[in-house]
Amino acid sequence: QSSGIGHVISHVVNELHVPLLSFAATDPTLSASEYPYFIRTTMSDYFQMNAVASIVDYYQWKEVTAIFADDDYGRGGVSALGDALATRRAKISHKAAIPPNSNTEVINDVLFRANMMESRVMVVHANPDTGMRIFSVANKLQMMASGYVWIVTDWLAAVLDSSASRDLKGMSHIQGLVVLRQHTPESDAKDKFTTKWNNAARSRGINSGLNSYGFYAYDSVWAVARGIDQFLDNGQQVNFSADPRLHRSKDSTLQLSTLKVFDGGEQMLQQLLLTNFTGLTGLVQFGPDRNLVRPAYDILNVGGSGSRLIGYWSNYSGLSVAAPETLYQKPSNASSVAQRLYNVVWPGDSTTTPKGWVFPNNGQPLRVGVPIKASFKELVAGGRGSDNVTGYCIDIFNAAIRLLPYPVPCQFITIGDGKKNPNYDDIISMVADNSLDAAVGDFAIVRNRTKMAEFTQPYIESGLVIVAPVQRAPSSAWAFMKPFTLEMWCVTCALFIFVGIVVWILEHRTNEEFRGSPRRQIITIIWFSFSTMFFSHSKYTRSIT
């Protein structure tokens, strides 16, 4: 019933050839290639982390902080999250691992270090016990205030759905969270089962609700029952045989010799993989990768004493406000334009989407290089130290920094002794190799420098001018003849002669104007070609017209 136990038992069932169905082990590293007898009857965290990455990409955040349980379940999920973010040009900027059974002091230290980082998008992938303490500590550290983003995997939805009566104090710590929940489509069978469950729980005095894992557990039992029934209908028998390798450990206290190998394990495995029916969770069918087909998640926004649905994610169409089962009959459209979610109320009761980052509060100021020149000290001047730097360029830089909605500590690093101008190319090279974070001064934007660093918009007109003589050409009445070069005259004459010859070939047999002595015919051809510029020749031509 957990990823950690699944890793251990999967090694055993591989040797015993006994298919293992799990409705709660979501670790994506539990793969069919490594554990051929392991069958996951719930959704893999591979798809859940793709859903988280889609949410991050939807709001155009580029960095997240991953807070996770330091076990197989947590590490496998965060690894899948990193891969999913990379395909969307985002990344995990900081990984905050919380060891199992950590006390409040350890969690406080982990969150304090995470809060010092730049990213304000927190992705929490933990177990329920550790997860609820994370939010309690985060609330004390004022990390549930406006400007923060908390995206939580489906463990929190399972806790909320299972809690019949919710602690209002505990709910106050998780306001504004975005939570994922395994999607189970609405159906009459699901409603009837939920009603029966609630009645049975009430009659037995059980104060607990039903979450999505309960539905998957129910469908898993039916999948096993159908598989065994079909296995027996095919004439197979349930037989076990001893493994000689286990008898060698007869003296061991583990008594491994009592374990038997299932003779029909391969046939039973193939029968289970052919499962295809509609259960409480929708279509129960396995794909080529042995994961359930049509993975989908509900996206919830926690507020008040409950949560509200703000959209869905499916592997078929991405983010949408329409239920996934209504989209499977339509063409797949996972383009960025088609992605949509309802409005979210973020932590701090804010409806404005957080920008997702702040300047890191880790004591590292912005290193700004300033050239100390021997001339034009109105632009940049000063001595050693950040407090002694003045000038027009410095004033503009400070004004731009003050316009930012967050504090940016800066440290001016002076370059030069003020007796001679420093080499500006060397200063820009220092920015390119990260010796400086930025440089402020009267830097000219030239081609070779733009290859090394980015420049702001110019705020001073360039002082570089070119002096060139201006020659005025005299006006002339024959100016219209200037386009007629020698080459153009030759081409024009050749065209005249060509047109005349073509017309003569077509007309001289039927038109008397094109007959006579050779001299007359040549004159007619030349005259006809020249006069085409000024006259219409409908009365001279017959064959052409």
Q: What pLDDT digit, counting tens, does each position of 133-156 carry? A: 999 999 999 999 999 999 999 999
Q: For every residue of 354-382, which 3-state class applies, written as one string?
A: CCCECCCCCCCCEEEEEECCCCCCCCCEE
Which one is predicted more confidently, 298 or 32?
298
**What's the farthest any 2 CA atoms get from each other in the chain?**
132
Domain ranges of the chain: 3-236+265-338, 366-450, 481-531
* pLDDT exceeds cutoff 70 at 167: no
Average pLDDT value for the chain: 86
Q: Which range (50-54, 77-81, 313-317, 501-505) has the least confidence?
A: 501-505
Give the model confidence (pLDDT) of 496-516 as tens digits: 788 888 888 887 777 777 777
Looking at domain 3-236+265-338, its CATH architecture is 3-Layer(aba) Sandwich (3.40)
Give the model confidence (pLDDT) of 169-214 as tens digits: 678 889 999 999 999 999 999 999 999 988 888 888 877 788 999 9
Q: Which range (125-129, 259-263, 438-442) has the least confidence?
A: 259-263
Determine the average pLDDT of the residues in 57-83.
94
Q: What percent of the chain has pLDDT over 90?
A: 44
* pLDDT exceeds cutoff 70 at 535: no
- Kindly give the pairing relationship between strand 306-314 and strand 318-320: antiparallel
Q: Note the pLDDT of residue 525.
A: 76
Please name the residue ranges forming H helices in 23-103.
Answer: 45-58, 72-86
Lay out the sheet containing 366-371: strands in order across. Answer: 410-415, 366-371, 438-439
**Against a cut of 0.75, is the pTM above it?**
no
Q: What three-state secondary structure class fits 410?
A: strand
Give the model confidence (pLDDT) of 45-62 as tens digits: 999 999 999 999 999 999
CA distance 393 to 378: 9
Q: Which range (68-77, 174-183, 402-411) has the least confidence?
A: 402-411
The answer to whether 131 and 155 have CB atoms below 8 angstroms apart is yes
Please name the residue ranges forming H helices in 141-255.
Answer: 155-162, 168-171, 188-203, 212-233, 244-247
Report for 19-28, 60-69, 389-398, 495-504: range of highest mean pLDDT: 60-69
Q: Note the pLDDT of residue 86.
A: 95
